Amino acid sequence: MPAERYFYPNPIVQGQTITLDGEEFHHLVHVCRARAGESVEIVNGLGVLAKAKIEQIEKKQAVLQFSEITEQKTASPVLILAQGIPRMNHLELILEKGTELGMSEIWLFPAKLSDRKVFSENQMQRMRTILINAMKQCGRLRLPKLSIMGPVKDWPSIEMNAYFGDISPNAPWFIDELQQSAPGIGVFFCVGPESGFTDEEHHALQTHGLTGVKLNANILRTETAAIASLSLISQFLSRTNG
């Protein structure tokens, strides 16, 4: 586990002085009990890790100055999870574990059988916070992108190795399909909500060029399918691009 890290959602420049407020300030001062003069690590979700000295702690913000900066110039291969909107407790788990497993973007879409179709601003903020916290905890330097999409039939063209979870008895095994793919263009995987895809969505996915694949001999819950697919893809991309 990396050292305690804090999120600053802007470009980072050597020697720059910034202020940290909101949840990050609360965590710095009231949870970790940091004091002026101490050094901490800052990430911006854009591939930069910086060390910063706490210059001053005020009532609602802290003043920090960046010193040493490390930049991750090469991004990992693209790994997109398209997730039919599930219940919020399941979605929170998917966001957290997906970040840990290297997901670069998540598409949330209103499937026909999704319990909910839209998110409130508070729910959007909650999801962003989960992604940020998971990024800091697992040591990543790039924050996954959160995209709210339309129904499957309205998706743009997907120019990647693209698959969806299919419970059809004759669906090929995902691991076999993955090993025959071209890793350099990234991987896209779609998972349905708790009640699965409708026949119309199944057809739309195939029309978009996605291949239906089997993840397990058993029928998986939506959060299990998301984590299982990301685990396989992450290992595949790491081995083929390492």
Domain final residue pick, 71, 98, 128: 71
What does the mean pLDDT of the chain come to? Answer: 93
On the 0-12 / 13-18 / 19+ scale of CB atoms within 10 A, 149 is: middle
Report pLDDT digits (tens) over 208-232: 999 999 999 999 999 999 999 999 9
Q: Give me the residues paired with residue 49 across strands.
A: 43, 70
Q: What is the predicted pLDDT for the residue at 142? A: 95
Domain final residue pick, 45, 71, 97: 71
Instruction: Identify the CATH number of the domain in which residue 219 sits.
Output: 3.40.1280.10
Q: What counts of helices (H) and strands (E) characterise the chain?
A: 6, 11
Residues 145 and 66 grouped into a single domain: no
Residues 166 and 141 grouped into a single domain: yes
Res. 77: pLDDT tops 50: yes
Tell me how far apart the alpha carbons of residues 6 and 3 are, in angstroms, rounded to a whole number.
10
Domain final residue pick, 15, 37, 71: 71
Q: Which residues contact 218 (CB under 8 A, 6 or more apart)?
A: none
Q: Is 146 helix (H, G, I), strand (E, B) or coil?
A: strand
Kindly state the average pLDDT of the residues 66-94.
Answer: 91
Residues 34 and 115 grouped into a single domain: no
Q: Are 229 and 165 in contact (CB under 8 A)?
A: yes
* Domain, as residue range, for 146: 79-241
Instruction: Identify the CATH number of the domain in which residue 42 sits.
Output: 2.40.240.20
Report pLDDT digits (tens) over 13-41: 989 999 999 999 999 999 989 999 999 99
Q: Is 145 helix (H, G, I), strand (E, B) or coil?
A: strand
Tell me how far apart the alpha carbons of residues 42 and 5 are, in angstroms, rounded to a whole number.
6
Residues 126 and 65 grouped into a single domain: no
Report pLDDT digits (tens) over 148-207: 999 999 999 998 999 999 999 999 999 999 999 877 789 999 999 999 999 999 999 999
Q: Which of 28, 71, 74, 66 is nearest to 49 (CA)?
A: 71
Residues 44 and 88 grouped into a single domain: no
DSSP state letter for 180: T
Residues 151 and 233 grouped into a single domain: yes
The beta strands (E) that lie in the chain are given as 5-7, 17-20, 39-43, 48-57, 62-71, 79-84, 105-109, 145-148, 161-165, 187-191, 211-213
Q: What is the predicted pLDDT for the residue at 1? A: 47
- Total domains in the chain come to 2
Q: What is the dihedral of CA 226, 90, 146, 130, to 10 degrees?
A: -120
Q: Which residues contact 151 (CB under 8 A, 6 or more apart)?
A: 109, 110, 111, 112, 201, 204
